[in-house]
Amino acid sequence: MQKAATAVKVAVPELIVIADTCLCEYTSHGHCGYLEVGDLTGRVLNDPTLELLKKTAVSQAKAGADIIAPSGMMDGFVQAIRIGLDEAGYQDTPILSYAAKYASSYYGPFRDAADSAPQFGDRRTYQMDPANGREAIREIELDIAEGADMLMVKPALAYMDIIWRVKEATNLPVAAYNVSGEYSMIKAAALNGWIDEQRVVMETLTGFKRAGSDLILTYHAKDAARWLS
């Protein structure tokens, strides 16, 4: 990721590079941090993981990332990363926190493509219960207090109410993450001729905007940009 960030900034310096700051893509077990030896429940050791996230975030900033986006849902991760960035001289590098990230089934296609599914257990010990809407507000309040500059809701399609509630609760920019499962459903239906892909995509993205999102991260980005132009 660091090499990619540097290459992008050299080739197209005007592009904004957002670095996903997590550890699951680098661990043999597929979880988002250190685990207790022999623990097969997927329970992450929070505080040791924070130290490694600080180092990761600083290395990403050094590589040219414009925005650090921690996604592991560790308690205190925004504060730890803010301290790490400040100490390394990156006081002006903003943090886009995955403040409300749910333990969702919509991540399936990405995990298959990236071979990043947990090897045992699941991520429910540190990601949020899809049935719990009030927890999102508690999570964003904690992240704001720790120094988050922007807030992410992930996934987006089944969580537009959460996007709205987060937007109503803060003046910070709110991002919606339109994830792989949401993308794949539209692509599959379009390939079967069941829907008009362009109209459905634009209606979906409009829904995210109407729900209150200031930023939308989506696999439809290239197509949407072409249609809008």
Q: Determine, yes or no, domain membership for 107.
A: yes
Out of 62, 154, 187, 222, the active site residue is 154
Q: Determine, yes or no, domain membership for 47.
A: yes
Q: Determine, yes or no, domain membership for 220.
A: no
What pLDDT was estimated at residue 126? 56
Out of 101, 187, 209, 222, the active site residue is 101
**HEC letters along the chain:** CHHHHHHHHHHCCCCCCEEEECCHHHCCCCCCCCECCCCCCCCECHHHHHHHHHHHHHHHHHHCCCEEEECCCCCCHHHHHHHHHHHCCCCCCCEEEEEEEECCHHHHHHHHHHCCCCCCCCCCCCCECCCCCHHHHHHHHHHHHHCCCEEEEECCHHHHHHHHHHHHHCCCCEEEEECHHHHHHHHHHHHCCCCCHHHHHHHHHHHHHHHCCCEEEECCHHHHHHHHC
Q: Determine, yes or no, domain membership for 22.
A: yes
Domain count, the chain: 1
Q: Determine, yes or no, domain membership for 164.
A: yes
pTM of the model: 0.85
Q: pLDDT tens-digit profile of 49-101?
A: 888 899 999 999 999 999 999 987 778 889 999 999 999 999 999 999 988 98
Its domain, for residue 92, covers 2-176
What pLDDT was estimated at residue 120? 45
222 is catalytic: no
Q: Determine, yes or no, domain membership for 51.
A: yes
Banded pLDDT at 228 (limits 50, 70, 90): very high
Q: Determine, yes or no, domain membership for 98.
A: yes
Asked if residue 121 has pLDDT above 70, the reply is: no
Q: What is the CATH number of the domain that holds 59?
A: 3.20.20.70
What pLDDT was estimated at residue 89? 97
Q: Determine, yes or no, domain membership for 192.
A: no
Q: pLDDT tens-digit profile of 127-145?
A: 788 999 998 899 999 999 9
Average pLDDT over residues 106-118: 61
